[in-house]
C-alpha cells in the first residue's frame, strides 16, 4: 500500500512540473510602462512642443498627423493634423540627452493649449524620463556623459596652455579627459571685445605639420559625438565653456590636431594647435572624483 501511495505522489509531482513548464507565469508590463503625455492636435492651428534638449528622432503613429522641427531651433517640434477628426494615435520623440518621450495625440477642433514647455514641466514635477543608449557613446548613458561634461566645466582645471587670441577674442583648450574609449575636450571662449561673438561651428582636424611643395597635404576631419551645449552667441565681456566628446584617437609627432573656432559673418576665427604630446597629458574622468 505504501508503495502505491508513493507511486501516486510521484505521478502527481510529475504532472504539476509539466503543467508549470507549459504555463509560465506572464510578466505584467504595466509596472514598467512609459507613461505618455496627452496632447490635443488640430488642423487649422499648429501645436509646438519645447523639449529640454535637441531632438534626434521622431516617429509618428499615423500619417494623419505631420511633425517637423522648427528650422531655427533644434529642440522645438511643431505638429498639426492633415484633416479634421482624426483617429486617436501616438508619437515618440528621442532627444540627444537620451530621454525617451511618448505622447498620446487626440483631435480637438479648438485645443485648450497649443504650446507645451517640457523643460518647465519636468522641473516642476521632477518627472524622471526613460533613457536610451546611443551607439556612439558605447556603454555610457547620455545622462552620465552629461554629468561628466558638467563636472569637467565645474572643476575648470587648466591642465593645458593651448590658446589662440585675436581681435579681443580668446579661445583656450583647458584640458582633455578620457573615459570608456572617448576623449573629452574642455574648450573655453572668452570674448573681451565690445561686440557679441557668434560661433558658426567648431571643427577638429588632424593635419600634417610640415609638407614639401611636392607632397599632398594629408587631412582628416574628426566629428564630435556630443557637446555639452550647442553653438551660441557670446556677449561682449563674457566667457563660455563647452566640452566636446570624440572617439579616442592618436596621431604622430609629424601631425597636429587643429581645433578651429569659426565666427559667423566675421573674421575673428581662432585656431588651436594641439601636439601629439598634449594628447598624452590627458587624465581619466574618474580623477575628478564625482
Q: What are the pLDDT digits (tens) for 34-46?
A: 788 899 999 999 9
CB-based contact 157:176 (threshold 8 Å): no
Residue 99 clears pLDDT 60, i.e. is over it? yes
For residues 266 and 159, state if they share a domain: yes
Domain containing 86 equals 33-132
Cell numbers for 174, please give them.
583647458
Residues 151 and 281 in one domain: yes
* Residue 150 belongs to some domain of the structure: yes
187 and 276 belong to one structural domain: yes
Classify residue 85 by burial, with Cβ atoms within 10 Å: 0-12, 13-18, 19+. exposed
Q: How many domains does the chain have?
A: 2
Domain at 164, CATH number: 2.60.40.10
- Evaluate if residue 127 carries a pLDDT over 70: no
pTM: 0.69
Considering the domain boundaries, does residue 9 fall inside one? no
24 within domain boundaries: no
For 210-221, how does the pLDDT look when each residue is reduced to its tens digit (9 = 90+)? Answer: 765 656 667 899
pLDDT tier, 20 (very low <50, low <70, confident <90, very high otherwise): very low
Q: What is the pLDDT of residue 213?
A: 60
Cell numbers that stand for 63 in this block:
500619417
Q: Residue 7: how many CB atoms within 10 A of its CB?
A: 10
Q: For residue 279, give Cα distances in angstroms to 158, 174, 185, 204.
A: 14, 12, 10, 13
Residue 13 pLDDT > 80: no
In a domain, 237, yes or no: yes
- 170 vs 28, residue with greater confidence: 170
Q: What angle do CA 251, 253, 257 make, to 5 degrees?
A: 50
Same domain for 65 and 148? no
Give 274's pLDDT tier (boundaries 50, 70, 90): very high
Residue 178 lies in a domain: yes
Q: Is the pLDDT of residue 9 over 90?
A: no
> Residue 65 has what pLDDT?
93
pLDDT of residue 97: 80
- The CATH number for 39's domain is 2.60.40.1550
3-class secondary structure, 120: helix
Query: Mean pLDDT lowest for which of 92-101, 116-125, 211-220?
Result: 211-220
Q: Is the pLDDT of residue 246 over 70?
A: yes
Write a three-state SS string for 220-278. EEECCCEECCCCCEECCCEEEEEEEEEECCCCCCCEEEEEEEEECCCCCCEEEEECHHH
* Domain-located, residue 14: no
Same domain, yes or no, for 152 and 61?
A: no
pLDDT band with cut points at 50, 70 and 90 for residue 8? very low
Taking residues 18-22, report their average pLDDT.
50
- pLDDT tens across 49-83, in order? 998 888 888 999 999 999 999 887 888 999 999 99
Mean pLDDT of 121-140: 70
Q: What is residue 238's predicted lDDT score, i.e. its pLDDT? A: 92
**pLDDT on residue 14:** 52
Q: Which of 248, 106, 261 is nearest to 190 (CA)?
A: 261
- Domain presence at residue 219: yes
Amino acid at each position: 500500500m505504501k508503495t502505491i501511495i508513493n507511486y501516486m505522489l510521484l505521478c502527481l509531482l510529475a504532472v504539476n512540473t509539466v503543467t508549470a513548464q507549459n504555463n509560465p507565469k506572464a510578466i505584467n508590463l504595466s509596472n514598467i510602462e512609459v507613461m505618455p503625455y496627452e496632447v490635443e492636435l488640430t488642423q487649422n492651428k499648429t501645436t509646438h512642443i519645447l523639449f529640454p534638449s535637441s531632438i534626434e528622432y521622431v516617429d509618428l503613429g499615423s500619417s494623419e498627423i505631420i511633425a517637423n522641427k522648427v528650422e531655427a531651433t533644434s529642440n522645438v517640434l511643431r505638429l498639426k493634423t492633415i484633416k479634421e477628426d482624426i483617429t486617436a494615435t501616438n508619437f515618440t520623440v528621442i532627444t540627444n540627452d537620451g530621454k525617451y518621450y511618448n505622447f498620446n495625440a487626440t483631435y480637438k477642433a479648438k485645443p485648450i493649449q497649443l504650446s507645451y514647455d517640457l523643460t518647465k514641466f519636468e522641473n516642476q514635477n521632477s518627472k524622471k524620463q526613460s533613457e536610451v543608449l546611443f551607439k556612439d557613446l558605447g556603454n555610457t548613458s547620455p545622462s552620465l556623459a552629461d554629468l561628466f561634461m558638467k563636472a569637467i566645466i565645474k572643476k575648470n582645471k587648466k591642465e593645458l596652455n593651448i590658446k589662440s587670441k585675436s581681435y579681443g577674442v580668446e579661445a583656450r583648450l583647458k584640458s582633455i579627459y578620457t573615459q570608456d574609449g572617448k576623449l573629452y575636450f574642455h574648450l573655453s571662449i572668452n570674448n573681451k571685445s565690445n561686440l557679441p561673438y557668434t560661433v558658426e561651428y567648431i571643427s577638429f582636424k588632424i593635419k600634417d605639420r610640415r609638407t614639401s611643395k611636392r607632397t599632398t597635404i594629408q587631412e582628416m576631419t574628426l566629428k564630435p559625438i556630443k557637446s555639452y551645449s550647442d553653438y551660441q552667441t557670446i556677449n561682449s565681456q563674457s566667457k563660455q565653456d563647452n566640452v566636446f566628446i570624440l572617439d579616442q584617437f592618436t596621431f604622430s609627432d609629424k601631425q597636429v590636431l587643429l581645433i578651429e573656432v569659426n565666427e559667423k559673418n566675421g573674421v575673428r576665427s581662432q585656431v588651436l594647435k594641439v601636439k601629439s604630446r598634449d594628447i598624452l597629458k590627458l587624465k581619466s574622468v574618474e580623477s575628478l572624483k564625482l
